[in-house]
Amino acid sequence: MSSVLHARAASAAFFDEMHADGSGAVRAHYREFHSWLAAQSTDSLSGKRAEADLIFHRVGITFAVYGDDAGTERLIPFDIIPRIIPATEWKRLEAGLRQRVKALNRFIHDIYHRQSIVRAGVIPPEQIFCNAQYRPEMQGVDVAGDIYAHVAGIDVVRADDGEFYVLEDNLRVPSGVSYMLENRKMMMRLFPELFARNKVAPVAHYPDLLLEDLRSVAPNGTREPTVAVLTPGMYNAAYFEHAFLAQQMGVELVEGKDLFVDDEQVFMRTTRGPKRVDVIYRRIDDDFLDPLAFRPDSNLGVPGLLSVYRAGRVTLANAIGSGVADDKSIYPYVPDMIKFYLDEKPLLRNVPTWQCRKKEHLAHVLAHLHELVVKETHGAGGYGMLIGPAASKAEIEAFRARLSARPDNYIAQPTLALSACPTFVESGVAPRHIDLRPFVLSGKNVTIVPGGLTRVALRQGSLVVNSSQGGGTKDTWVLE
Amino acid sequence: MLSQTADHLFWMARYTERAENTARMLDVNLQASLLPQSEASAELLWRGILGICELQPQYDARFPALAPRDVLRFMASEPSNPSSIHSCLNAARENARAVRGTLTTEVWETINSTWLELKARLRRVEADPSQFFEWVKYRSHLSRGVTIGTMLKDEALYFSRLGTFLERADNTARILDVKYHALADQGAPDVVAEGDAGRSIDFYHWAAVLRSVSAFEVYRKVYSNVITPARVAELLILREDMPRSLANCVNEVVTNLASVRNDHSRETERRAGLLQADLQYGRIDAILQQGLHAWLVNFLQRVNDLGDRISRDFLIPLATA
């Protein structure tokens, strides 16, 4: 039997989650796991991985590959080595996340009401009012509890200095939480002995917290609110997650065609006639929510929904117009928001960001393209970005032309050396870069289940963790 | 429950049942075709299959001539045939996927596994068709069993049961009518009314019909007598204790319909009750006098009407009411 553990590379230009810098000693919170891992053979781990794949297929935790006739369904690769975070570190992270999301909610409320942050000159008005995610329809509209981002997915990375940085805030329809839950279930099924040896904080109560959160923001005066999850349908890549959350919360999963508006209320069509809906956890972008108000060609939405919403007769989570706060052009101002609204020092760092719309920033970016990451302000999913150090000369030049043509469409950041976590790949156990998406729930209270979804770039050296670009996921442990 | 959800559950169950019955019919035909007989009469068997499924035109468009191998392929694995086992299991799974949150994990995983395994099974279907049909039957048993064994007894279960029994009523009636279709081209008269029970080929036909609905042993037990068309018809139409009989299917439809009753469904219940009464108080000699084929055609129309009415009452999203 050969152990899966190879000798570790002597030095690395990134933070290693399992091994301490310099000495290479195993970090305290990984010690128990490491001793278990050292006793495993490659064959037994391969067997476990195959078992996991089989179960994921049977359970149907797959996403459809578009344009494939054979109806191929792909798995998001699951890595069986967990990402472990010690409780002390998590506590700091958690406090920072709470603070950040609180400020973001205050910001969105302010933007759609008094706009004091603009008046105070903290954020230039054109950054908000010329933003496609700003929804004038929401101006002056009061939403339940003044909460806009009920579910926030905050992407966090650890840089080579060992510190956590927020990479982006996802406040529209962040996804991935079902993978966090299913990954944990899978780990407990495959390796129950590990959970006996490690005190791993549980995450399975997330759907309960979500339901409580959604019920707490029902329109005023609703005693027993009816909650529903609104999905674009079974051909959406995240359909599994929509169905999963609805089932776990015990609420209806609806499509736009199941809902209709009548007499200033939203109803679902049931076998016993119309039933009123009070809270909609929508997993559809703003643009598609109401063909009468937004895109007229949308058949995913509900005609008339916006007017009911504006009248306060239904709650949408997340609120329409939340996207104004998670745009990459707004991102650089989040630390300022925290100071402005909460009068606190930001606990989590932002990645230094050059805003290409500013002349002097653009000049710097153009001169350093080969070492920067350049992103579209409205982009997502790892598309439309340039990773300077990994790009060819031709790619850089092509990007330079695009950037010069529309500088306001881009921001740039230094290429972060994302931390790496041991991962079971073809060649055995080797370090691969990871990020973390904790899910922050805001309703009457702010709650976060310990950990979140860890995404891993499976290709050696790659920094792109998105599942659309060959990324996988890991179980995330907060050790108590 | 959402109308849309009920619709998916209804069709999930219908397609699962249809896949099973198609497998049953094909299997029996396969057995029957092994008997010594002229090439022409063997061909009739396969023509009968296409006839009762109303698929002759689709088959002719796809294949140049009637060949057992091609009929088998057309009915088992042809994706362009909406009634092939492949298409039915796919439709069952897509309907289940659309409402997976309403199903128990076991139900969903059973239906999903059937679909995932089907591809590999279909590759071997020609090498051993009987084994394939056996597998389809067992997967259907499993889907149904896990549904009854794990689902809460609420509307979700009732709509799925409605689908199962409406489809089974339709399929059993068609299986009974197969001989008429096989002989239709020759302008034969109604087989049961004027058929000669003494002819051995008839014995094998009716024995095959019994086997296709797992009723061969049941027949022996119930009648302890030789196989005659009239008794086979009685068993499969009127016996309420025979699980695949029309009487039992309609009883189940009536029961489940009552459980999901709404403001619109009174007329549908009335029609289902009328059909139930006809079966409860009907006599086989009266049916045979009318002509089995004619009676079955009428029965199929009434089942079809119930299906349409259920869709209208419950499944097609009701407008503001």
End-to-end CA distance of chain B: 16
> Does any domain span residue A321?
no
Query: Does residue A437 carry a pLDDT above 90?
Result: yes
| Contacts A58 to B, Cβ<8 Å | 109, 112-113, 116
Give percent of chain A above pLDDT 90: 73
Q: Say what the pLDDT of residue A24 is.
A: 82
> Does any domain span residue A476?
no
Q: What is the CATH number of the domain that holds A397?
A: 3.30.1490.270
The first and second tokens of residue B62, run together, are 């796809």
Distance of alpha carbon A225 from alpha carbon B260, whole angstroms = 24
CA distances for A93 relative to A155, A157, A190, A282, B251, angstroms: 12, 11, 29, 28, 62
Sketch the domain layout of chain B as residue ranges. 1-151, 173-314
> Does any domain span residue A379?
yes
Do B255 and B159 contact (CB within 8 A), yes or no? no
CA distances for A279 relative to A217, A225, A305, angstroms: 8, 7, 12
| Contacts A257 to B, Cβ<8 Å | 4, 317
Give residue ranges of B with CB < 8 Å to any A CB: 1-6, 94, 97-102, 105, 108-109, 112-113, 116, 155, 159, 260, 262-263, 314-315, 317-321
The helix/strand/coil state of A386 is strand
Min distance A58 CA to chain B CA atoms (Å): 6
The first and second tokens of residue A291, run together, are 């063909």
Query: Does residue A9 carry a pLDDT above 50?
Result: no
DSSP state of B83: T
Residue A397, amino acid = E
Q: What is the pLDDT of residues B55-110, one digit of tens each?
A: 989 999 889 988 888 999 999 999 989 999 999 999 999 999 999 889 999 999 99
Q: Is the pTM of this model over 0.90?
A: no
| Contacts B3 to A, Cβ<8 Å | 258, 269-271
Query: Does residue A219 carry a pLDDT above 60?
Result: yes
The helix/strand/coil state of A473 is strand
Which of A379, A335, A380 has its CA nearest to residue A353?
A: A335
DSSP state of A325: G
Banded model confidence at residue A130, pLDDT cuts 50, 70, 90: confident
Min distance A469 CA to chain B CA atoms (Å): 25
Determine the residue of chain B that is closest to A55 in CA distance. B109
CA distances for B123 relative to A33, A221, B191, B230, angstroms: 44, 60, 38, 40
> Does any domain span residue A400?
yes
> Does any domain span residue A244?
no
Q: Say what the pLDDT of residue B246 is.
A: 97
Q: What is the pLDDT of residues A71-91, one digit of tens each?
A: 567 788 999 999 999 999 999
**Contact status of A247 with chain B (Cβ, < 8 Å):** yes
Do A301 and A256 contact (CB within 8 A), yes or no? yes
The helix/strand/coil state of B88 is helix
Q: Say what the pLDDT of residue B320 is.
A: 39
Q: Say what the pLDDT of residue A376 is.
A: 87
> Does any domain span residue A302?
no
The H-or-E segment that residue B223 falls in is: helix B216-223
Query: Cβ contact (<8 Å) for A271 and B105?
Result: no
Q: Say what the pLDDT of residue B185 is.
A: 47
Residue pairs spanning A and B at CB distance below 8 A: 72
Exposure of B284 in the CB half-sphere (CA atoms within 13 A): 16
Q: Which residues contact A47 (CB under 8 A, 6 or more apart)?
A: none
Weakly modelled stretches of chain B, pLDDT under 70: 181-201, 317-321
Q: Name the average pLDDT for chain A.
A: 90
Nearest 5°: phi and psi at A236? -75, 145
| Among candidates A59, A247, A273 on the partner chain, residue whose Cβ is nearest the Cβ of B321 | A273
Determine the residue of chain A that is closest to B105 in CA distance. A59
How confident is the model over A166-195, as a mean pLDDT? 94
| Contacts A274 to B, Cβ<8 Å | 318, 320-321
Give me the number of domains chain A comprises: 1
Do A169 and A326 contact (CB within 8 A), yes or no? yes
Distance of alpha carbon A148 from alpha carbon A323, whole angstroms = 10
| Among candidates B109, B113, B260 on the partner chain, residue whose Cβ is nearest the Cβ of A271 | B260
Do B69 and B125 contact (CB within 8 A), yes or no? no
Q: Which residues contact A178 (CB under 8 A, 6 or more apart)?
A: A61, A240, A241, A244, A245
Q: What is the pLDDT of residues B155-183, one digit of tens each?
A: 999 999 999 999 999 999 998 887 776 65
Distance of alpha carbon A154 from alpha carbon A171, whole angstroms = 8
> Does any domain span residue A106?
no
Q: What is the pLDDT of residues A259-311, one digit of tens each?
A: 999 999 999 999 988 999 999 999 999 999 999 999 999 889 999 999 999 99
Min distance B113 CA to chain A CA atoms (Å): 6
Query: H helices of A112-145, where?
Result: 116-119, 125-129
> Does any domain span residue A392?
yes
The first and second tokens of residue B47, run together, are 């023509």
Query: Does residue A70 carry a pLDDT above 80?
Result: no
